[in-house]
Structure formats: C-alpha cells, structure tokens
Amino acid sequence: MIQIFKVYDMPTHAGSVTFRRSHNKLLFLIISSANGTNWVLPKGHIESGESPEEAALRELHEEAGVTGQIIDRLSIKEFNLKKEKVSVQYFLVKELCLSQPRESRIIRWEDEHSALRLLPFEESKSVFREGVKRIKELTLDNNC
C-alpha cells in the first residue's frame, strides 16, 4: 500500500503566546503592531539558518524586550499579507526577564480576557486560546 503525505513548507515566521505570573495572576503579553494600529502577538520572519524556536525567542526580545523560555509548540497559522503568504509557527513562552526592547513597540501585560478582547485578528485569537488551554493542561498556572 502506498501512503501519500502532504509536504509542509517550513514556516516563514515565528511567534509566541507569552505569559508571566504577577501577584498570583497569569498575564499575557501583547504588543503594538509595527504601524501602531493594532494589538498583536510578537512574531517575525525566520532568518536564514535560524530555527523557528530561535526566531520566536529573538523576535520576542527585539519587539518586547522579553527573554523567555519555550514551554511548548503551538499551531501554525497561515494568512495572506500584502500579496505574501505568511505561515507562522507559534510557541508558548514563559517570561524569564524583561529588558529594554530594540524596537519602539508599546507592550502590555493583560489578563486572559482583556488580551483576547484586544487582539483583532481571528488567527491571533485562535492561537492565544490554544496557548491558554495548554497552560491549563500543563498546570503551569500552579507552578509559575
């Protein structure tokens, strides 16, 4: 019997659902988009020779000044952006420390419901929900 498998291209971008615990509450990172018109999850291009994991952590640090630890791999989300097909591999990331970001983005740490309300795009909302669900499955909210 011959099996046929769909070949998936490497993702073009990597991003994160990033969280931290503050005063016994889980907070999630959202940042302003490059043009400042929307709230988004940190993400960006995967550079040549870079793994999706490395790109996600690099973009998180550049855009938000956050050094993080990858906890788990989340979904790949695909969409079209200015005639370019974008494929984003997302990761669940726990904040380790915060420093000055290299880019001039506004960063916010919001609770689950506020962050979800502020994210305008369904792709972001979907992966955000997945990240929250994964935290609960891993019981990280009790061990952070």
**CA 129 from centroid of its chain's CA atoms:** 11
CA distance 38 to 137: 29
Q: How confident is the prediction along the chain (144 residues), in pLDDT tens digits per residue?
A: 565 444 456 899 999 999 999 898 999 999 999 888 999 999 999 999 999 999 999 999 999 999 999 999 999 998 887 777 889 999 999 999 888 777 788 999 999 999 999 999 999 999 999 999 999 898 654 555
Domains and CATH numbers, the chain: 13-142 (3.90.79.10)
Output the DSSP codes for 32-75. E-TTSSSEE--EEEPPTT--HHHHHHHHHHHHH-EEEEEEEEEE
pTM of the model: 0.86
* CB-based contact 89:80 (threshold 8 Å): no
